[in-house]
Amino acid sequence: MKDPRCPEFRATLKKESAGLASVKGYDRLKSRLNSVTDWDSYKEMSAQIGITLWFKEKSLLKEIEPELPHREGNADALLSFSEQDIYCEVTSPESLQKSIASKKQSEAKKVQNLLKKQPWMSKQDAEHELKIERAVRNLLDKTKRQLPPNHPSILALETAKSMVFTFDTKKMAHKLFPSRPQVMLIMLWSLERGSRIGEAPFWFINPNSPYQNIGQKLLKYLGQDNKVIS
């Protein structure tokens, strides 16, 4: 059902994105505001705008909503660093959860099966474990579609409003990285440990990526190399 607050959401997003008006592809971003139909899609779009603005402030942003080189469609952002194009995709575990909301009945059965195998777990722990597994499956699918296999890329995870924290993101990264070598970095965008609003508190480097050296140099340039979690 369409959220009655949509006009308000779109007006807010338009104001948030004003700082990107001079960047190539801004018109494509503006047209996407019409796809905001509820709170969840509003938060996803707000995260994309905020992270894209952050890269612009760091003089890295080349294009918004660039066309993908391996299939029809668009990534969220294209960065340029040391004469190297870097694709960036922004996503949120909250939005990923929404996409599987229709599976609640089958998920309840999975929780019971997990508790039988690991009876020392609480129901809440089992639900959380399955939530992480679902997120990984969706991230594998999204990164396959949205991040070209022959270019370095960054996956930005916005988790400020979810119950996915650093430890969970580390587990997700370890499961994702071997299958997605193009993802040289995962950027965790949250409010953990008193981190500043509008600043990435943690990063994860993919040891399986042929682009990890580029990722390390980029983090040093950004002054973020002290925020890497292995």
**CB distance 115 to 107 below 8 Å:** no
User: DSSP assignment, residue 86?
Assistant: E
**Cα dihedral sign, 202-33-13-101:** negative
Q: Please write the tens of the pLDDT for every residue from 39-69.
A: 888 888 998 999 999 999 999 999 999 999 9
**With bands split at pLDDT 50, 70 and 90, how would you rate the model's confidence at 162?**
low
Residue type, 93: P
Between 221 and 134, whose confidence is greater?
221
Q: Please write the tens of the pLDDT for every residue from 170-225.
A: 999 999 999 999 999 999 987 665 455 556 778 999 999 999 999 999 999 999 99
Least confident of 66-80, 87-101, 130-144, 177-191: 87-101
- Closest to 13 in 3D by CA, of 1, 22, 37, 91: 37
Mean pLDDT (whole number) for 77-104: 77
Give helix 39-57 / helix 6-16 axis angle, nearest 10°.
0
pTM: 0.85
**Could you give the CA distance from residue 173 to residue 185 in angstroms, rounded to a whole number?**
9
**Could you give the CA distance from residue 61 to residue 34 in angstroms, rounded to a whole number?**
23
Q: Is the pLDDT of residue 96 over 60?
A: no
